[in-house]
Amino acid sequence: MSEKRDAIEVADQKLQRGDGGEYHQIAGGDGEVLTTNQGVPVSDDQNSLRIGPRGPLAMEDFHFREKLFHFDHERIPERVVHARGMGAHGYFETYESLADVTRADLFQRKGEKTEVFARFSTVAGNKGSADIARDVRGFAVKFYTREGNWDLVGNNIPVFFIQDALKFPDLVHAAKQEPDRGFPQAQTAHDTFWDFISLTPESINMALWIMSDRTIPRSLRFMEGFGVHTFRLVDAEGKSTFVKFHWKPKSGMQSVVWNEALKINGADPDYHRRDLWDAIQMGDYPEWEMGLQLFDEAFAEQFDFDVLDPTKIIPEEVLPIRRVGRMVLDRVVDNFFAETEQVAFCTQNVVPGIDFTDDPLLQGRNFSYLDTQLKRLGSPNFHKIPVNSPRGCPFANFQQDGHMRMQVPKGRALYQPNSFGGPREAPRTGFRTYPAEVSGQKLRMRPESFADHYSQARQFYRSQTEVEQNHIVSAFTFELSKVETVAIRERMVAHLLTVDEDLGTKVAAGLRLKSLPNAAPPAVEPRTDLARSPALSILLNGPRSFAGRKVGALVTDGVDAEILAALKTALEKEGAMLKLVAPMVGGVEASDGTWLEADEKIDGGPSVLFDAVAILPSEAGCAQLVDEATARDFVADAFAHLKFIAYSPAAEPLLRKAGILEALDEACIALDSSSDAQPFVEACRKLRHWPRETAVKQV
C-alpha cells in the first residue's frame, strides 16, 4: 500500500513541476494555457499516462493519442513537380488603367493595390533537394482581387518542353529519378531525360534555354518570370486582345557560374530561400514589373509562328512589352507549411476580363491542377485554407460537405434554382467565357503550324553573347557526359547540329565523339533569317547598380577600421550590404579598438555566398590566414568565379598563397585608403569580370 502511495506522490510531484524538475522555470511561457485540439487544458505534456511508474501505456490517454495522431499525419504528399519552393506575401500596384483592353477589376484604377502571394520553386527536385540545381524555376502568383482569385502560374523561362499536356507525365517521369535506382534527383544529367529530349524534337528550343545560365539564377529576386501561354484579355464590351505575361525584376537579372553553383549547394543548400527571406526581413523588398505583350488576331495570323504553341516566344523586338504595374514582396510567411506548402495554384483560376486560349498545353493544365490539389490537400475544400481563400470580396455557393468543411452552411436549400433564397447568378458582372468560334473534326494530331522546332532555338543561341554561348556549350557537354548511352549523346548532338553547326560541333568535340553524326532531319526547314533578340541575353540586360547584392569582407584582428567603415558606407549608399567573415564567429577587434561581430566563420562563409569580396586582414592576421585552407579557397574561388575583389596591401601574402597575386586584373582593386571604397563599389555594378574567364578556364 505504501509503494502505491509513494508512486502517486512521485507522479503528483512530476505533474506539479514538469519533467526535468526545473522545466517550467527554464522554459517559461507567455501565459497561454496548453490545450488539446478540443480546448481541454493539458496538465502534463512531458509524460504519457501509464499503469505504474514503469508500467504499460494506458489507452485512455487521449492527449497522447491526439498528439501522435496529428504528428503521424502532419506531412502531406509533396508536389510531383515544384516540390521545393519558397513563398512570400506582397501586393501588386497598377501603373495605369487598362480598361482599354480588359474589364479585370484589378486593372481598372491607377494606383490600385491588390494583395498577392508568390511562390518560387524548382521543378525536378524533391522537397529536400538543393536550391541551385540546374532547373527551371516556377514563378506563380496568386492575386486576391475584388472579384476573386487569379492565379498566374508560370516559370522563369517563357517556353516549355512540350506542346501537348498529354506528354507531361512522360516529360516528368524522364526528368525525375530513374525508377530502378532512385537517382539522380534534382538534375537532368542522366540517360532517361536526354533520351526523352532526343526523341522529342519539340523540346529542343527549351533544351537550349535550360542549358543557359537562366537555370542557375543567383537569386529568386534576380530572375524574370513568364506566363508562358497566350491568354486573352476581354474588355467591358466583350472585345478580346491576346496577351503574354512577363515579370521583369527591378534589380536586373543575374546568374551564377556552374562551378559556383556546385559549391553554393554544398555551402548552403537553402541559398535561394535564405536570400529571399533575408532580403524581405531587412526591408530590401524584391520588386518585379508586370509587362504585357498585347496583340490582335491580325498580328497572330501574320506572325512567323503559331501564338498557341507554348514552345515559342514572340521576341520583344517584334512586339514591345507594355509595363503596367509592379509586384512588391514585403512580408514573409508566418508558417511555411500553412502558407507556402498548402498554397494551391490552379491555372483555371481566372477572373472576369481574363480568359484562356486554345493553347493545348494550357487546356491540359486547366484540367490537371484541380485534380492535383485534391490529391495533395485531401479535400475538395482546399480552397477554404486561408492562403487559398478569396480576400476582399464576398464568396458564396451551394457546395456542401466533404472532408474538412470549414464553414457551417445555413439555410434550407442547397440547390439552384430554389424558392428559399441564397446566392444567385450575376449575368452582368459574372465571368463570361469569350465566345470564340470553334469548328473541325475530332482528331488526335498537331497542327502543321507547330512543326518548326529548330528556328527559335537557333535564334535563342545566336542572341546570346559569346560568354553565354560558351556556357551553353559547356552545360550541354557536362550534362551529356553523364549520359551512359552513347547513342543518346549522338542523337542530341545531331539535334544541336540542326540548331547551329558551331554549337553541335563544339559539344561533339567536348564529348570526344568518334565521328560527327549527321544533323537531325527537321520536319520543317529551320529559318535562318530570324533577327537576333538582345532581350534574350542575361548579360545584355544586367542591372545598372549593385543594389541588393552582398560583399563578403574577410577580416582579422587589426582590420583597418577607417577603410572598412568607408566600404560599408559606400555599399549602403548603393543599396548593397557588407557581411564580415572572420576566423572565429565571435568577431574581431578593429585597428581603432572597436569590436566587430562577425556574420560568418571563415569555414562557414565561403566566397561563393557573396557577389564580390574584400580581403582586408592586418599583417599579423594575414600571417595566420595563409596557413588556413578555407581562407585560400575564399580568395581562389572568388577569382575563379570572376568576382570583383578588393584587397588591402597586407593581404598580398594570402593572394600569393592562393595563386592569384601574379594574375590580378582590373577587377582586383587595391584599397589603400578609404577613398578607394567608392570606386570599388561602382566597379561591382558589372557583377562579373568576364574577360577573366578564359584565363581561369572557368566556363
The radius of gyration of the chain from alpha carbons, rounded to an integer in Å, stands at: 29
State whether 19 and 135 are in the same domain. Answer: no
58-72, 229-243, 406-420: range with highest mean pLDDT: 229-243
Q: What pLDDT shows up at residue 437?
A: 87
State whether 575 and 607 are in the same domain. Answer: yes
Per-residue pLDDT tens digits for 350-383 = 999 999 999 999 999 988 888 888 889 988 888 8
Q: What pLDDT shows up at residue 29?
A: 57
* Domain-located, residue 347: yes
* Domain-located, residue 336: yes
Q: For residue 205, indicate whether it is catalytic.
A: no
At which of 11, 42, 72 does a domain end? 72
State whether 136 and 276 are in the same domain. Answer: yes
Per-residue pLDDT tens digits for 7-27 = 545 544 544 444 433 334 434
Per-residue pLDDT tens digits for 569-601 = 999 999 999 999 999 999 999 999 999 999 999
Per-residue pLDDT tens digits for 442-466 = 778 889 999 999 999 999 999 999 9
Q: What pLDDT shows up at residue 10?
A: 52
Distances (CA, A) of 646 to 116, 616, 673: 40, 8, 12
* Domain-located, residue 127: yes
Q: For residue 82, indicate whether it is catalytic.
A: yes
State whether 90 and 55 are in the same domain. Answer: no
DSSP assignment string, 307-334: TT-TT----TTTS--EEEEEEEEEEE-S
* Domain-located, residue 451: no
In the block, cell 515544384 appears at: 82
- Determine the structural domain holding residue 572 and report its residue range: 546-696
* Domain-located, residue 515: no
* Contact present, 15 and 49 (Cβ < 8 Å): no
State whether 318 and 241 are in the same domain. Answer: yes
CATH number of the domain at 684, please. 3.40.50.880
Residue 276 has pLDDT above 60, yes or no: yes
Q: What pLDDT shows up at residue 400?
A: 80
CATH number of the domain at 61, please. 4.10.91.20
Band (pLDDT 50/70/90 cuts) for residue 699 is very low
DSSP single-letter state for residue 449: G
| Structural domain total, the chain | 3
Q: What pLDDT shows up at residue 30?
A: 61
State whether 99 and 51 are in the same domain. Answer: no
State whether 316 and 244 are in the same domain. Answer: yes
Per-residue pLDDT tens digits for 91-112 = 999 999 999 999 999 999 999 9
% of residues, the chain, pLDDT over 90: 76
Per-residue pLDDT tens digits for 161-196 = 999 998 999 999 999 999 999 999 999 999 999 999
* Domain-located, residue 691: yes
State whether 233 and 336 are in the same domain. Answer: yes
* Domain-located, residue 653: yes
Choose among 613, 603, 643, 548: nearest CA to 267: 603
Q: Which residue has the higher pLDDT, 694 or 561?
A: 561
Catalytic site residue from 155, 156, 265, 388: 155
State whether 98 and 37 are in the same domain. Answer: no
At which of 72, 107, 129 does a domain end? 72
Choose among 527, 504, 528, 502: nearest CA to 516: 504
174: Cβ–Cβ under 8 A, 6 or more apart, which residues?
Answer: 192, 193, 195, 196, 197
Residue 426 has pLDDT above 50, yes or no: yes
For residue 37 the three cell numbers come to 485540439
Q: What angle in degrees, to the nearest 10, is found between the helix axes of 258-267 and 466-481?
A: 60
Residue 399 has pLDDT above 90, yes or no: no
Q: What pLDDT shows up at residue 20?
A: 39
End-to-end CA distance of the chain: 81
Query: Model pTM?
Result: 0.91
Instruction: Calculate the CA 262 to chain-centre distance.
Output: 17
State whether 50 and 124 are in the same domain. Answer: no
pLDDT mean across residues, the chain: 92
Q: What pLDDT shows up at residue 6?
A: 54
For residue 682 the three cell numbers come to 561602382
State whether 58 and 100 are in the same domain. Answer: no
Q: What pLDDT shows up at residue 13?
A: 52
* Domain-located, residue 463: no
State whether 104 and 67 are in the same domain. Answer: no
At which of 388, 403, 435 does a domain end? 388
CATH number of the domain at 156, please. 2.40.180.10
